[in-house]
Amino acid sequence: MADGFVLCLIFTGFFFLALYANPWLGFDNYPPDIKARVHDVPHVPLSLRLGIALPFLTLIFAIILRSTTRLVRSGSSRSGLLPATLHTFLLLQIVNAWDVVVIDWLIFVTIQPDSVILPGTIGAAGYGDYAFHFRQSYMTLTPWVGTFAVALFVGALASWMARRWPPRRQALG
């Protein structure tokens, strides 16, 4: 749970960083009626997209891999791949639930700070659409397949790392 909480805090930090850097970075995640009102989407440089996405993804990946490797190394989970994959999947689902409940429902839909309202879209019904965010995160196949694929990859990597590099023993005395 502690690792899940840390991941949620990091996710929130990067959300606000991206929003501050350029609110158009998240345009693809807006509801369709909001996107339809925007006729001229400003160009967001690839360097800005990568400058935010790569450190975020690297940090998230490192924390999840560390957490999963620790789990596999523990005496109760030496079996490897299945517990590691399940652990990773659950960590990713904690972040996904946080995204829906806190970022989407609380901030985007309920609080609606000016920074999330795109020019020319004030009053669009999508800003109050709780169901849209739930459907995007849970009712389409892509997030499930993507999450499972990442979980399987990290689970396999953590299992391999735990066998390849066992934990260091502390010297006595």
pLDDT digits (tens, 9 = 90+) for 75-107: 654 567 999 999 999 999 999 999 999 999 999
> Domain locations in the chain?
2-164
CA atoms within 13 Å, Cβ hemisphere of 22:
17
**C-alpha to C-alpha distance for 90 and 85, rounded to whole angstroms:** 9
pTM here is 0.88
Residue 171 scores a pLDDT above 80: no
Q: Which of the two residues, 5 and 75, has the higher pLDDT score?
A: 5
**C-alpha to C-alpha distance for 98 and 164, rounded to whole angstroms:** 34
Q: Which of 133, 136, 135 has the alpha carbon at shortest distance from 108?
A: 133
pLDDT score at 77: 47
Confidence of residue 163 (pLDDT cuts 50, 70, 90): confident
pLDDT score at 73: 86
Comparing 13-17, 50-54, 74-78, the range with the smallest average pLDDT is: 74-78
